[in-house]
Amino acid sequence: MTEISSLGEFGLISHLTDHIQTANSSTIKGIGDDAAGLEYKEKEVLVTTDLLLEGIHFDLTYVALKLLGYKAAVTGFSDIYAMNGQPKQLTVSVGVSKRFSVEDLDELYLGIEYACERYGVDIVGGDTSSSLTGLCISITCIGAADKDKIVYRNRAKETDLICVSGDLGSAYMGLQLLEREKAVHQGETDFTPDFAGKEYLLERQLRPEARKDIIDILAKNGIVPTSMIDVSDGLASELLHICKQSEAGCVIYEERIPIDYQTAMMAEQFNMNLTTVALNGGDDYELLFTVPLSLHEKIQELDGIHLIGHITDVDEGANLITRDGTHIPLIAQGWTKIVDEDEENVE
Amino acid sequence: MTEISSLGEFGLISHLTDHIQTANSSTIKGIGDDAAGLEYKEKEVLVTTDLLLEGIHFDLTYVALKLLGYKAAVTGFSDIYAMNGQPKQLTVSVGVSKRFSVEDLDELYLGIEYACERYGVDIVGGDTSSSLTGLCISITCIGAADKDKIVYRNRAKETDLICVSGDLGSAYMGLQLLEREKAVHQGETDFTPDFAGKEYLLERQLRPEARKDIIDILAKNGIVPTSMIDVSDGLASELLHICKQSEAGCVIYEERIPIDYQTAMMAEQFNMNLTTVALNGGDDYELLFTVPLSLHEKIQELDGIHLIGHITDVDEGANLITRDGTHIPLIAQGWTKIVDEDEENVE
């Protein structure tokens, strides 16, 4: 265990980043100056940023720092894919309290670096700082897209088909499972929970992937979606973003929402409504997109893409049609977790 | 006082950003999608990021949120100018605890927006989140530079002249002044400290400006520095960065370090060594750069730029020559403030 203070700021930066290489032709200058230098020429530059705070976005009781780093990077990549782009560079800022050692930061960076390697992304900058409490991570991801291929949220048209990749709700059930084990084993310092048969749910929560493969499949088939978004806050919330920005309505069918077997089993065990889990569970990092009706047959042939409904006139609103034919309006959810704090005492 | 939770995540984002317009031709898509879209064509894209944490980088006892927002944005711009570029876009991520109201965030954004307006920068994205404690701000600034005009830290050559803009140490003395007043009035809820005659120090600490004017003057005179960095951690530390990356040494003269009258007065009052203050005081946001010896006369004619020494062979090290001719090796300083935290209790 090496105390961070033993290295000092510049020693720490050097320790964490000296070995980092860059590989993309768009990276001209990486870590080590006032700013990174990039060259995008005729491509459009995409920029997205995420803030991850301990106790709000992650719980280090059951999340290993390496996996946290991996997930932090992947969530950034996912936003770039959701524009039909390719992530190219990443900056990583980290604030850490005295509770963390140099080895802890090594683990975090290992996960980030591994994700970057897998997805072909260069780490080009960042910031390190001490914090009064806990761990704070800020990620900015920069990507490239052909101007005529960029997909926004606001161009879904009436009759367009609504598609989603993978399955939904599994990451949320993974979180429920981890929270339950944490509660059950409260106070125990060393326990081995039995997650047999639930590995998929844990993997979806702890080690999500961004859907580069879906972007590649669409490109290979010459398909440019009319709108796209990644599912980080839940299907309902993301669909409402598309509808609002496209000034459209939508209909999705309960029976068509893709749900994995383990998700269904866990929801039953936890006595939760499976459709609610799939609609509102976050952290899926699947791609939700719309394509013109004319692509109906082509889309159905593609593996891992599910047709779940269609875009309607804005006056019809955004609705789920249940198995028994009932129309239920979709409702958005975002974070609402505002935590109490002693106003006099920030520590 | 409006509680943030009363708006919800999407309501808050909408409240803070709906009115934000973009003005730069390089901004294709601003706030409202998975990522911002930018177009830089033949220009190089510069990216820099900063993390600002309450209790580490700022103290809200004496820093108004509007000024904090202004300073956070300006520090990002400063990094882009230090590459000889022009800042164009900014993303702003904010984590807030329950202690903050919607009106508090309005103040913070007002300061950020005012800085952006003054410097011609578009706000194009960000993230908002709740936090367990305090305020956390992450800023990413994106800028443009002509490829052949970009200035790195690593191209200073022996005999190059070392120049610095403005004056040094004043922001640090402003901080000392604020800290003293805070200590003196501890426990009082309403006090009006007497800052008469020290306004400059406070302004330098609380409302710094980035030296766009210096970049413009250099361009107008056809001067491209051989190396450049902005002075955020103190002159000594920044000079050592240039020397290390350029594999060079340097000599600077104590008597040439530009120091304001108020800084000198306060240092005397506080019984501090003035040169130490100027060498190691942070937050100056001046530009430190080197130019070829042949520009000696030209540089001396420019207002607000001071010639403080020259680059030497690497074997000579980095030295300050005092008024009495003594050589003193320069020493780097970074943050070392690692704060104690109860390991069991992150709140």
| Same-domain status, B211 and B292 | yes
Confidence band for A333, pLDDT divided at 50, 70 and 90: low
Shared domain check, B48 and B179: no
In a shared domain, residues B86 and B174: no
Q: For residue B307, what pLDDT is reported?
A: 98
Query: Would you say residue A344 has pLDDT above 50?
Result: no
For residue B185, what are its two tokens? 């009035």
pLDDT reported for residue B195:
85
Overall average pLDDT of the B238-267 stretch:
97
pLDDT band for position B318 (50/70/90)?
Answer: very high
Neighbours of A216 (CB within 10 A): 12
Which amino acid is it at B143?
A: G
In a domain, B345, yes or no: no
Q: Where residue B178 falls among pLDDT bands split at 50, 70, 90? A: very high
Whether residue A233 has pLDDT greater than 80: yes
Phi, psi of A309 (to 5 degrees): 170, -160
Tokens of A106: 């090594």
Q: What is the pLDDT of residues B93-105, one digit of tens each?
A: 999 999 999 999 9
- Tell me the mean pLDDT in the region A302-310: 97
A10 or B190, which is more confident? A10
- Residue A191, pLDDT score: 67
Same domain membership, residue A168 and residue A50? no
**A203 or B184: which leads in pLDDT:** A203
Inter-chain touch B130–A29, beta carbons under 8 Å? no
Looking at the structure, tell me whether residues B104 and B207 fall in a common domain.
no
Q: What would the pLDDT profile of A281-290 be if each residue is shown by its tens digit?
A: 989 999 999 9
Span B22-45, average pLDDT: 95
pLDDT, mean over chain B = 92
Using a pLDDT cut of 90, give the percent of chain A over it.
85
Is A182 in the same domain as A266?
A: yes
Q: Do B95 and B131 contact (CB within 8 A), yes or no?
A: yes
Is 50 exceeded by the pLDDT of residue A341? no
pLDDT for residue A80 is more than 80? yes
Domain-embedded: residue B220: yes
Checking ipTM against 0.90, whether it exceeds it is yes
Residue A338: the pLDDT is: 30
> CB–CB of A45 and B37 under 8 A?
yes
What pLDDT is stored for residue B295 in this prediction? Answer: 97
Mean of the pLDDT values across residues A198-203?
A: 94
> Are residues B160 and B252 in contact, defined by beta-carbon separation less than 8 angstroms?
no
Give me the CATH number covering residue B238.
Answer: 3.90.650.10
pLDDT of residue B333: 63
The count of structural domains within chain B is 2
Judge whether B290 lies within some domain: yes
Structure tokens at A320: 């789920």
C-alpha–C-alpha distance, residues B247 and B220, integer Å:
30
What mean pLDDT is predicted for residues A226-249? 96
User: Across residues B150-158, what is the average pLDDT?
Assistant: 96
Asked whether the beta carbons of B198 and B62 are under 8 A apart, the reply is no
B343 located within any domain:
no
CA distance A294 to chain B (A): 26
Highest mean pLDDT among A76-80, B178-182, B186-190: A76-80
Q: How is residue B118 written in tokens?
A: 């003054």
Q: Is the same domain home to B60 and B185? A: no
Alpha carbon distance A305, A165 (integer Å)? 4
pLDDT at A193: 72
Predicted confidence (pLDDT) per residue in B323-340, tens digit = 999 999 998 764 433 333
Question: What percent of chain A is modeled with pLDDT above 70?
Answer: 95
Distance CA B195, CA B282 (A): 21
A177 and A299 inside one domain: yes
- The predicted model gives A243-247 an average pLDDT of 96
Residues in chain B with CB shorter than 8 Å from the CB of A28 are 44
Closest residue, chain B, to A138 (C-alpha): B138
CA distance A181 to chain B (A): 19
**Tell me, what CATH number does B14's domain have?**
3.30.1330.10
- Type of residue numbered A81: Y
Cβ-based contacts of B124 with chain A (< 8 Å) = 47
Euclidean distance between CA atoms B196 and B190, whole angstroms: 18
Per-residue pLDDT at B157 exceeds 70:
yes
Asked whether residue A42 is assigned to any structural domain, the reply reads yes
Cross-chain residue pair B132–A80, CB shorter than 8 Å: no
What pLDDT is stored for residue A166 in this prediction? 97
pLDDT tier at A186, thresholds 50, 70, 90: confident
Q: Give me the total of CB pairs closer than 8 Å, taking one residue from chain A and one from chain B.
A: 270
Reported as a single tens digit per residue, the pLDDT across B255-293 is 999 999 999 999 999 999 999 999 999 899 999 999 999
Suggest the residue from A16, A31, A33 to mutate for an interface test with chain B (most B CBs closer than 10 A). Answer: A33
Query: Strand, coil or helix: what is B331?
Result: coil
Residue of B nearest to A245 (CA): B32
**Which ranges in chain B belong to alpha helices (H)?**
8-17, 65-81, 102-119, 170-184, 199-206, 212-220, 235-246, 261-269, 274-280, 296-300
| Chain B positions in Cβ-Cβ contact with residue A18 (cut-off 8 Å) | none
pLDDT digits (tens, 9 = 90+) for A33-51: 999 999 999 999 999 999 9
- Tell me if A131 sits within 8 A of A201, measured CB to CB: no
- Domain end among B149, B183, B212: B149
Q: In terms of domains, do A178 and A103 share one? A: no
Contact A82, A165 (CB under 8 A): no
Sorting pLDDT into bands at 50, 70 and 90, what band is A187? Answer: confident
> Which of B2, B49, B60 should be substituted to probe chain A, the one whose Cβ sees the most A Cβ atoms within 10 Å?
B49
- The residue-averaged pLDDT of B160-164 equals 98
Q: Which domain holds residue B324?
A: 161-191+200-329
How many Å apart are CA B158 and CA B293, to the nearest integer? 9
DSSP annotation of A34: S
Q: What is the pLDDT of residues B55-85, one digit of tens each?
A: 999 999 999 999 999 999 999 999 999 999 9
Both A123 and A185 in a single domain? no
Q: Does any domain span residue A345?
A: no
Listed as own residue / partner, the contacts of A219-223 with beta carbons closer than 8 Å and 24 or more positions apart are: A219/A149, A221/A298, A221/A302, A223/A291, A223/A295, A223/A298, A223/A299
pLDDT at position A184, please?
Answer: 87
CA distance B320 to B130: 47
Which band of pLDDT confidence, cut at 50, 70 and 90, is reported for residue B345? Answer: very low
Please indicate, yes or no, whether residues B242 and B105 belong to a single structural domain of this protein.
no
Cross-chain CB nearest to A33 (options B55, B130, B152): B152
pLDDT of A335 strictly over 50: no
Check residue A185 and give its pLDDT.
84
Give me the pLDDT at residue B341, please.
35
Among B130, B138, B245, beta carbon nearest to A337: B130
**Is B256 found in the same domain as B124?**
no
Q: Is A201 in contact with A266 (CB distance < 8 Å)?
A: yes
Report the alpha-carbon distance of residue A212 to residue A82 in Å, rounded: 9
Residue A254 has pLDDT above 70, yes or no: yes
Residue-level pLDDT at B193: 72
Mean pLDDT over the full length of chain A: 92
Q: At CB < 8 A and 24+ separation, what contacts does B15-23 make?
A: B15/B102, B16/B105, B16/B106, B16/B109, B16/B128, B17/B123, B17/B126, B20/B113, B20/B123, B22/B122, B22/B123, B22/B124, B23/B120, B23/B122
Residue B344 falls inside a structural domain: no
Q: Is residue B337 a part of any domain in this protein?
A: no
Q: What percent of chain B has pLDDT over 90?
A: 85
If you average pLDDT over residues A238-247, what whole number do you get? 96
Contact A334 B10 (CB under 8 A): yes
